[in-house]
């Protein structure tokens, strides 16, 4: 099988030749692996690792910069108005969201907040990109598509967003609606520009902490599910499978996901409540396909090579039977993961992940 066939077979809960493989990592991991394999960039790296997935999107926005950076504070501001600054830590660093410019905004202020215009994106390179990667499983979107809680929180603050959802605050709901509608239109035009080459849509919403749901099922159904359904319905209009990323203890929402038309669940943090491989496979196997489950906070980060191999083999033993499993880290691999463990992780997927 080529990568496209392998992934689509898995998404249909059938058995491929081997488990599909995906990769996500912080810049520090990327740099170390590029140096180890003596390749020139990330594109060559994912080829070496055997990654079966490739993203499809627009990279060029032709409109003006909508929000000014704040260089004197080291703050970068993107076209959605999200403020970020680089925070160093002992093994690398990360971009941290700050300022939250819409935290106290009124409905009128949210309505007038500058956001990207779908008419000002360049979609001309989409079809050519798809042709160059035609043997891979091509997706549009990603973990941030449709994400209400995190993405709104990046400009309004997490606490305020949760209050917005619980109280039907007009300003917060308008912010979510504007973002979803704009992203939905950009995604729709990307799919159309691909001329049938896209294989699935990837969306996201973080719904759990490590120990429990972040919100109630009733609140999800009332405040968030309608936004998600719009995205799913658009994907289904193009006959595309849908994968949803959701962190933490989130299996409480999976029955709704199935009802809504979602085909694949992503992240699968095994240390979170009701998220163990055994639990997920027994309760949802055959009704949902799975993508993830290799913890970035377990042996890959803190164990030795032999611990990593044993851990990955155990996960594969549980998740592989009958198909329906894609091997991937739960989140981006963190800079504290030893290079040799990451190498062992992917070697195990390629060799032990073959169906006999």
Residue extents of the structural domains in the chain? 3-64+102-352
HEC secondary structure over the chain: CCHHHHHHHHHCCCCCCECCECCCECHHHHHHHHHHHCCCCHHHHHHHHCCCEEECCCCCECCCCCCCCEHHHCEEECCCCCEEEEEEECCEEEEEEECCCCCCCCHHHHHCCCCCCHHHECCCCHHHHHHHCCCCEEEEECCCCCCCHHHHHHHHCHHHHHHHHHHCCHHHHHHHHHHHHHHHHHHHHHHHHCCCCCCEEEEECCCECCCCECCCHHHHHHHHHHHHHHHHHHHHHCCCCEEEEECCCCHHHHHHHHHHCCCEEEECCCCCCCCCHHHHHHHHECCEEEEEEECCCCHHHHCCHHHHHHHHHHHHHHHCCCCCEEEEECCCECCCCCHHHHHHHHHHHHHHCECC
Inter-axis angle of helices 339-352 and 27-37, to 10 degrees? Answer: 70
Q: What is the pLDDT of residue 324?
A: 98
Q: What is the pLDDT along the chain (356 residues), one digit of tens a residue?
A: 999 999 999 999 999 999 999 999 998 999 999 999 999 999 999 999 999 999 999 878 899 999 999 999 999 999 999 999 999 888 778 889 999 999 999 999 999 999 999 999 999 999 999 999 999 999 999 999 999 999 999 999 999 999 999 999 999 999 999 999 999 999 999 999 999 999 999 999 999 999 999 999 999 999 999 999 999 999 999 999 999 999 999 999 999 999 999 999 999 999 999 999 999 999 999 999 999 999 999 999 999 999 999 999 999 999 999 999 999 999 999 999 999 999 999 999 999 999 98
Q: Are 203 and 139 in contact (CB under 8 A)?
A: no
304, 275 contact by CB (below 8 A): no
Q: What is the pLDDT of residue 92?
A: 79
Question: pTM, whole model, 2 decimals?
Answer: 0.97
- Of how many residues is the chain composed? 356
Q: What is the pLDDT of residue 306?
A: 98
Residue 10 · residue 324 · CB < 8 Å: yes
Q: What is the pLDDT of residue 91?
A: 76
Q: Which residue has the tokens 């979609």?
A: 123
The CATH-assigned architecture of domain 3-64+102-352 is Alpha-Beta Barrel (3.20)
């Amino acid at each position: 099988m080529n990568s496209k066939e392998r992934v689509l077979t898995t998404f249909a809960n059938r058995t491929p030749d081997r488990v599909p493989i995906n990769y996500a990592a912080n810049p520090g991991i990327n740099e170390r692996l590029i140096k180890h394999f003596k390749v020139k960039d990330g594109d060559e790296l994912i080829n070496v690792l055997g990654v079966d997935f490739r993203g499809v999107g627009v990279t060029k926005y032709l409109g003006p910069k909508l929000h000014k950076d704040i260089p004197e504070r080291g703050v970068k501001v993107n076209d959605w108005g999200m403020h970020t600054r680089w925070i160093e830590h002992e093994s690398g660093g990360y971009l941290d969201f700050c300022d939250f410019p819409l935290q106290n905004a009124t409905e009128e202020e949210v309505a007038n907040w500058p956001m990207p215009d779908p008419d000002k994106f360049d979609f001309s390179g989409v079809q050519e990109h798809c042709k160059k990667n035609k043997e891979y499983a091509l997706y549009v979107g990603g973990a941030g598509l449709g994400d209400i809680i995190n993405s709104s929180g990046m400009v309004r603050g997490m606490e305020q967003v949760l209050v917005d959802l619980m109280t039907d605050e007009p300003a917060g709901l308008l912010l979510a609606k504007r973002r979803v509608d704009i992203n939905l239109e950009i995604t729709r035009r990307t799919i159309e520009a691909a001329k049938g080459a896209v294989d699935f849509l990837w969306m996201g919403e973080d719904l759990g902490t490590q120990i429990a749901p972040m919100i109630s099922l009733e609140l999800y159904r009332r405040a968030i599910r309608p936004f998600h359904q719009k995205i799913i319905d658009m994907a289904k209009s193009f006959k595309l499978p849908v994968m949803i990323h959701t962190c933490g203890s989130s299996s409480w929402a999976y029955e709704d996901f199935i009802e809504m038309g979602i085909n694949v669940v992503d992240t699968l943090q095994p240390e979170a409540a009701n998220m163990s491989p055994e639990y997920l496979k027994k309760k949802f196997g055959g009704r949902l396909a799975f993508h993830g489950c290799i913890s970035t906070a377990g042996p890959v980060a803190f164990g030795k090579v032999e611990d990593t191999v044993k851990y990955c083999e155990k996960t594969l033993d549980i998740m592989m039977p009958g198909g329906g499993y894609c091997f991937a880290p739960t989140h981006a691999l963190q800079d504290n993961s030893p290079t040799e463990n990451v190498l062992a992780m992917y070697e195990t997927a390629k060799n032990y992940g073959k169906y006999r």
